[in-house]
Amino acid sequence: MSSVRAIVAKALPLCEPSPSEERRIAAVAQEAKALVDKQVAHMSHMVVGVVFGGSFAKGTWLRGDADIDIFFKVKPSVAVEKFEELGRSVGQDALKAHRPRMRYSDHPYVEAFVKNVRINVVPCYDVEQGKWQSAADRSPFHTEFIGRNFDDEKRRQARLLKKFLKATGIYGAEISTGGFSGYVSEVLVLKYGSFEGVLNAAADWQERQVVSVGDYDPDIVKGFISPIVIIDPVDSRRNLGTAISPESAGRFMLAARAFLDRPSIKFFKKSQRGPETKKKLLQNVLVVEFSHRERSPDIVWGQLKRSVNAVAKQLELADFAVLRSSCVTDEKKSAAMAFLLESMTLPPYTKKKGPEVFRRNDTARFLAGKKKPLVTWVDKEMRVAMLVDRKAIDARKFAKSLLQKAENSGVAKDLIAGKLQIYSGSGRKVKGVAKEAISEVVSTERLIFG
The reply to whether 235 sits in an annotated binding site is no
DSSP three-state, residue 100:
coil
- Give the integer Cα–Cα distance in Å for 261 and 36: 48
Q: Is 162 annotated as a binding residue?
A: yes
H or E, element range at 274: none
- Assess whether pLDDT exceeds 80 at residue 29: yes
194 pLDDT exceeds 70? yes
Structure confidence at residue 377 (pLDDT): 96
Residue 294 has pLDDT above 90, yes or no: no
What's the whole-number mean pLDDT along residues 327-350? Answer: 95
* In a shared domain, residues 60 and 139: yes
Say which residues have a Cβ less than 8 Å from residue 258's Cβ, sequence separation at least 6.
267, 447, 448, 449, 450
Reply yes or no on whether the pLDDT at 146 is more than 60: yes
> 0.85 exceeded by the pTM?
yes
Q: What is the pLDDT of residues 351-382, one digit of tens each?
A: 999 999 999 999 999 999 878 899 999 999 99
Mean pLDDT of the chain: 93
How many CB atoms neighbour CB 387 within 10 A?
15
Q: State yes or no: pLDDT of 397 exceeds 80.
A: yes
Q: Is 204 marked within a binding site?
A: no
pLDDT score, position 1:
46
DSSP 3-state assignment of 57?
A: helix
Structure confidence by residue, pLDDT tens digits, 90-128 = 999 999 999 999 888 788 999 999 999 999 999 999 999
CA distance 80 to 104: 15
pLDDT at 414: 82
> How high is the pLDDT of residue 275?
54
**Are 297 and 444 in the same domain?**
yes
The percent of residues in the chain predicted with pLDDT above 70, rounded, is: 97
Q: Are residues 321 and 429 in the same domain?
A: yes
Residue where a domain stops, chosen among 237, 268, 299: 268
Q: What is the CATH number for 166?
A: 1.10.1410.30
Q: In this predicted structure, what is the pLDDT of residue 2?
A: 63
- 52 forms beta bridges with 70
User: 438 or 370, which is more confident?
Assistant: 438
pLDDT of res. 277: 54
Q: Could you tell me if residue 208 is left (phi over 0), alpha (psi between -120 and 50 degrees) or otherwise beta?
A: left
Question: Is 3 buried (19+), middle (13-18) or exposed (0-12) by CB count in 10 A?
Answer: exposed
Both 443 and 378 in one domain: the answer is no
CA neighbor of 72 nearest in space, from 99, 97, 27, 107: 107
Give me the number of domains the chain comprises. Answer: 4
Using CA atoms, how far apart are residues 425 and 288, in angstroms rounded to an integer? 10
- Residue 273 binned pLDDT confidence (cut-offs 50, 70, 90): low
Separation between Cα atoms, residue 135 and residue 119, nearest integer Å: 19
Lowest mean pLDDT among 200-204, 248-252, 273-277, 284-288: 273-277
Full residue range of the structural domain in which residue 161 is found: 150-268
Report the relative pairing of strands 67-74 and 117-125 from DSSP bridges.
Answer: parallel
End residue of a domain, out of 97, 121, 144? 144
